[in-house]
Amino acid sequence: MELIQFYIVAAITISSAVSVIMQGRVMYSILSLIVTLLSVAWIYAILNASFLAVVQVILYAGAIVVLFVFAVMMLRYEEIEPQRMRTGLIGCLGLLVALFFIFELILSSATGPFVEEATLSADFGSIKSVGAILYTQYLVPLELASILLLVAVVGAALFSKRG
Amino acid sequence: MFIDVAITLLKIAFVFGLVLNIAGILGWAERKQSAVMQDRIGANRADILGLRLFGLFHPIADIVKVITKEDWIPPGGDKFLHTLAPFLALFTALAVFAVIPFGDTLHIAGRDIPLVIADLNVGILFVIAFGSLGIYSVVLAGWSSDNKYSLLGSMRAAAQVISYELALALSVVGVIMAYGSVELDDIARAQGQYVLGIIPYWGVIAQPLGFLIFFAAAMAETKRTPFDLPECESEIIGYFTEYSGFKFLAFWMGEFIEVIAVAGVVTTLYFGGWQVPFIDSQGFFVPGLFTIPLPHLLVVVIQVTAFILKVCFFCWFMLLVRWTLPRFRYDQLMGFGWKFLLPLAFLNVILSGVIFMSFEG
pLDDT by residue (tens digit) across B49-103?
A: 777 777 788 888 888 998 899 888 888 888 899 999 999 999 999 999 999 998 8
Its ipTM equals: 0.84
Name chain B contacts of A127, Cβ cutoff 8 Å: 121-122, 125, 182
What is the least distance, in Å, from the CA of A155 to any CA of chain B? Answer: 17
B28-34: average pLDDT: 89
Q: Which class does domain A1-81 fall in? A: mainly alpha
- For chain A, domain boundaries: 1-81, 121-163
Q: What are phi and psi of B280, to 5 degrees?
A: -125, -170
What is the three-class DSSP state of B231? coil
Interface probe, candidates A32, A75, A127, chain B, greatest B C-beta count within 10 A: A127
What is the least distance, in Å, from the CA of A158 to any CA of chain B? Answer: 16
What's the pLDDT band for A163 if we cut at 50, 70, 90? Answer: low
What is the least distance, in Å, from the CA of A61 to any CA of chain B? Answer: 7
Q: What are phi and psi of B3, to 5 degrees?
A: -65, -40
Q: Which residue of A has its CA nearest to B124?
A: A54
Mean pLDDT of chain B: 87
206-235 in chain B: CB under 8 A from chain A: none
Name chain A contacts of B142, Cβ cutoff 8 Å: 73
Q: Using the beta-carbon criterion (under 8 Å), do A57 and B129 form an inter-chain contact?
A: yes
Under a CB-based contact definition with an 8 Å cutoff, are residues B152 and B242 in contact? Answer: no
- High-pLDDT (> 90) share of chain B, %: 31
Q: Using the beta-carbon criterion (under 8 Å), do B125 and A73 form an inter-chain contact?
A: no
Show Cβ contacts of residue A91 under 8 Å, excluding neighbours closer than 6 positions. Answer: A85
B15-23: average pLDDT: 92
> Is the CB of residue B125 less than 8 Å away from at least one CB of chain A?
yes
pLDDT at A14 over 60: yes
What is the least distance, in Å, from the CA of B228 to any CA of chain A? Answer: 20
Show Cβ contacts of residue B243 under 8 Å, excluding neighbours closer than 6 positions. Answer: B72, B86, B141, B145, B251
CB contacts < 8 Å between A and B, how many? 54
pLDDT at site B285: 77
For residue A66, give the nearest of B122, B143, B158 by CB distance: B158
Q: pLDDT digits over A115-152, tens only?
A: 666 677 777 777 888 888 889 999 999 999 999 999 99
Helices (H) and strands (E) in chain B, counts: 13, 7
* pTM, to two decimals: 0.89
Under a CB-based contact definition with an 8 Å cutoff, are residues B310 and B233 in contact? Answer: no
Q: Which residue of A has its CA nearest to B121?
A: A126
- High-pLDDT (> 70) share of chain B, %: 98
Q: pLDDT digits over B180-210, tens only?
A: 888 898 898 888 888 777 788 888 888 899 9
Q: Using the beta-carbon criterion (under 8 Å), do A69 and B182 form an inter-chain contact?
A: no
- For chain B, domain boundaries: 63-360
pLDDT at site B4: 85
Q: Using the beta-carbon criterion (under 8 Å), do A127 and B81 form an inter-chain contact?
A: no
Q: Using the beta-carbon criterion (under 8 Å), do A54 and B125 form an inter-chain contact?
A: yes
Q: pLDDT digits over B153-178, tens only?
A: 888 888 888 889 889 999 999 999 88
Q: Using the beta-carbon criterion (under 8 Å), do B143 and A58 form an inter-chain contact?
A: no
Q: What is the DSSP string of A24-73?
A: SSHHHHHHHHHHHHHHHHHHHHHTT-HHHHHHIIIIIIIIIHHHHHHHHH
Alpha helices in B274-329 (DSSP H): 296-324
For residue A62, give the nearest of B78, B122, B129 by CB distance: B129
Q: How far apart are CA B111 and CA B107, in angstroms?
A: 6
Which one-letter amino acid corresponds to residue B273?
G
Under a CB-based contact definition with an 8 Å cutoff, are residues B220 and B160 in contact? Answer: yes
Under a CB-based contact definition with an 8 Å cutoff, are residues B265 and B127 in contact? Answer: yes
Name chain A contacts of B81, Cβ cutoff 8 Å: 27, 31
pLDDT at site B170: 92
